[in-house]
Amino acid sequence: MGFGGAAAAMITSLKNNNRRNKREAFDGWSNSDTSSQGIKVAPVSEELLQEIRNKLKKQRKVLFRKRVLASCILVILILLILFFAVQ
């Protein structure tokens, strides 16, 4: 009784998944590996951090104003279209 390629593919997939449990995913790695301890970050002055924060606040404020303006224009256009479509 043949089930086609789907059944054979399922059986093969199950066999391969079963074989994966027998090997270690991170074999040879250790926690004391100094070359993979993450990104090394140099210390930054508090003044520079404050400048960056202020710059980001200013950018967010400008973006918010642009979005509000675009939304207002869009609402006005939709209202005008609805108003003239009803008449």
Residue 57, in any domain of the structure? yes
Domain that holds residue 60: 52-87
* H helices present in the chain, as ranges: 5-20, 46-86
Q: In total, how many domains does the chain have?
A: 1
Alpha-carbon distance of 28 to 34, in angstroms, equals 14
Measure CA 75 to chain center: 31
Residue 67 lies in a domain: yes
Q: Which tokens belong to 60? A: 């967010």
For the chain, 87 residues long, give each residue's pLDDT as a single digit of tens: 566 678 888 888 888 877 666 666 666 666 665 566 667 778 999 999 999 999 999 999 999 999 999 999 999 999 999 999 987
| Greatest CA separation for the chain | 77
- Does some domain include residue 65? yes
**49-57 long-range CB contacts below 8 Å, 24 or more apart?**
none
Spatial distance between the Cα atoms of 22 and 11, rounded to a whole number of angstroms: 18
* 20 is a domain residue: no
Q: Is the pTM of this model over 0.85?
A: no
